[in-house]
Chain A
Amino acid sequence: MSNTQSSANTTLTLWVEEYGDEMYSWAFYKTSNKEIAEDLVQDTFTSAFKAFERFKKDSNPKTWLFTILNNKIIDYYRSKASQKHITETELNAQSNVDGMFNDLETWSSLPQMEWQDEEHLLDNQEFLKVFKACIDNLPEKWRAVTIAKFFDYKKGKAISKELGITSSNLWQIVHRSKLHLKKCLDTNWTPEQ
C-alpha cells in the first residue's frame, strides 16, 4: 500500500466511525430496508476511498460523503425502477392487489373506512412502525419507486425522468404500492372490532 493509500485508509476509517451511523440512518429512511442501507453505506465508503485524491482538504467530509451517498441512493432507485424481470414476490403482490376488486370493478371485500387514532396518526410512533413494516413488505421494485416519489418532494415528471421510467409507469407502481399498503394497514393497524 502506498503512502497516499494508507492515509486515505486512515482518514476513511475515522470517517466510518464519525459519520457511518448518520449515513446509515439516512440511507435506511430512504430505502426502508436495513440490508440495502448497509450496502449503500459500504459502497459509498468504497467509492470515497477510490476518489480520495479528488477530495479537497478544506471541504467538509460529511457533505462530500452525503453527496456520494445520495447518488448511490438514486442509482439504486433507478436500477430497481428499470428492472424488467418480475420477481415472485412481485407476482404475489400483484395478485393480492388485483384481488381487491371483483369483475364488476367494485371492492371485493369492504376496506376499513376508519383507521384507529386517525387524527393523530402522524405523531403516533406505533403507527409509523407498522407502516414501515408494511413498506418493507412491498416487492423491492415497488418499494424503491414509491419511496423515490417522496424522496425530495419533486414533481412526478422530474422523478420519473430521474428513474428512467414514464410518468404513467411511475403512478401505476405507486398506485399498486398504496393498495398493498392500505390492505396491510387495514389488517395490521386496525384490528377487527
Chain B
Amino acid sequence: MRPLLQPLMLSCKKAAELTDKSSVVKLSRLERLKLRMHNKACAVCNAYTKHSLLMDRAFEEIVNPSKQQKLELSGAVKKRIVDALN
C-alpha cells in the first residue's frame, strides 16, 4: 500500500505498530479505524495482526508454568546455592 494518499491511510510500518500497541494499551477510535481500514486492504498486515495475536497467546501459555514441563536444578547449582548460605 502506498502511504499518505489520504489522512486515514496508514503505512504497513505504522499498521504493525498499532497492531502491537493494541495488545498493551487501548487504541483510540481513530487508531482502531485506521488499522481496520488498512488491514481490510492489506493481506500482509492482516496476517501480521493474526500472528501478533497468536504470539500473545503463546506468551501467555509459556509464562504459565503449571502447563509446562517441570525443570530441575542441577546438583552443582544446588550445591552452589547451599554453599552461598554459609
Interface residues of A (CB under 8 A from B): 1, 8-9, 12-13, 16-17, 20-22, 24-26, 28-30, 32, 38, 41-42, 45-46, 49, 101, 104-107, 110-115, 118, 121-122, 127-128, 131-132, 135, 146-147, 149-151, 153, 156-157, 167-168, 170-171, 174-175, 178-179, 181-182, 185
Contact = CB atoms under 8 A, between A and B. Distances in A.
B36 interface: no
Contact of B43 (A24, A113, A149, A167): A113
Contacts of A149: 24, 59
Nearest to B46: A113
Given A42-B81, A45-B85, A107 B65 contact: no
A29 B62 contact: yes
Contact of A111 (B44, B72, B82): B44
Interface residues of B, number: 45
Contacts of A181: 55
Given A30-B63, A107-B44, A181-B55, A171 B78 contact: no
A157 B57 CA distance: 20
Contacts of B47: 111-114
A29 B68 CA distance: 9
Given A149-B24, A171-B25, 11 more contacts: A12-B85, A41-B81, A104-B3, A111-B48, A135-B62, A149-B59, A157-B25, A167-B25, A171-B21, A179-B20, A182-B55
A9 B58 contact: no
A107 to B, nearest CB: 6
B86 A9 contact: yes
Contacts of A185: 51, 55
B72 A122 contact: no
A140 B79 CA distance: 27
Given A105-B3, A131-B58, A174 B24 contact: yes
Contact of B62 (A128, A156, A168, A174): A128
Contacts of A26: 65
Contacts of A17: 78
Contacts of B84: 42, 45-46
Contacts of A167: 24-25
Contacts of A45: 81, 84-85
Interface in B30-51: 43-44, 47-48, 51
Contact of A150 (B3, B44, B59, B65): B59
